Amino acid sequence: MQEKYKNFKKKNNNLPTINERIKFPEIRLIDAEGEQVGVLSLDDALKTAKNIGLDLVLVSDKSVPPVCRIVDYGKYKFTQEKKAKEAKKKQHNASLKEVKMRYKIEEHDYRVRLNQALRFLQASDKVKATITFRGREIQHVNLAIALLQKMAKDLEGVSEVQQLPSRDGKSMIMILTPKKAN
């Protein structure tokens, strides 16, 4: 039965599929109150919509037969845009923030980096803690691992370790993610 509807897909995606722009031979109709009327021919559905003074809007062209609804198109479009805006507002893309330091860091400087990482985690961002080595410092990898583990322990209330400390060329990195709120 799907073959019957294949050739009637919309050709111009810029125009909304309402009223005469719907090109399917028969559709499943939902009336203005949200009740399902049934499968009707396109002409009968258009007549029903015109009699009420509303528009016939294509809701889903993926189902067989396609689903159309009788609504006021202006209101329908407004509510769709409003829902999309609300969904976009609630969405937060977690970005990766970096905190750089050396393994020979003083206590005060370490506290500053710790507070930066804490601020990033509270803003729901991931934190990449990086320790860079210069020259012969690469021999003291164990001190860098100890420092990163200390940072993970200090931030364990608000974060969890996503990637354990690992060497990456002349640096060592560890990635922390914010804890999920229950």
pLDDT digits over 29-48, tens only? 888 888 888 888 888 888 88
Q: What is the pLDDT of residue 174?
A: 94
Q: What is the pLDDT of residue 44?
A: 85
Closest CA to 178 of 165, 160, 154, 151: 160
Q: What is the pLDDT of residue 181?
A: 65
pTM: 0.52
Q: What is the pLDDT of residue 6?
A: 55
Q: What is the pLDDT of residue 119?
A: 93
Q: What is the pLDDT of residue 61?
A: 81
Q: What is the pLDDT of residue 2?
A: 56
pLDDT digits over 98-150, tens only? 999 998 999 999 999 999 999 999 888 899 999 999 988 888 899 999 999 99
pLDDT digits over 62-112, tens only? 888 888 888 888 888 888 889 888 888 877 677 889 999 998 999 999 999
Q: Is residue 26 scored above 70 in pLDDT?
A: yes
Please report the domains of the chain, with CATH numbers, ordered by start residue: 3-80 (3.10.20.80), 96-178 (3.30.110.10)
Q: What is the pLDDT of residue 10?
A: 46
Q: Is residue 19 scored above 90 in pLDDT?
A: no
CB contact burial 62-90 (16+ within 10 A = b; e otherwise):
eeebbbbbbbeeeebeeeeeeeeeeeeee
Give the mean pLDDT of the chain. 85
CA separation (Å) from 43 to 2, 26, 67, 118, 163?
A: 20, 8, 14, 63, 61
H-run or E-run covering 24: none
Coil vs helix vs strand at 109: helix
Q: What is the pLDDT of residue 66?
A: 87
Q: What is the pLDDT of residue 14?
A: 60
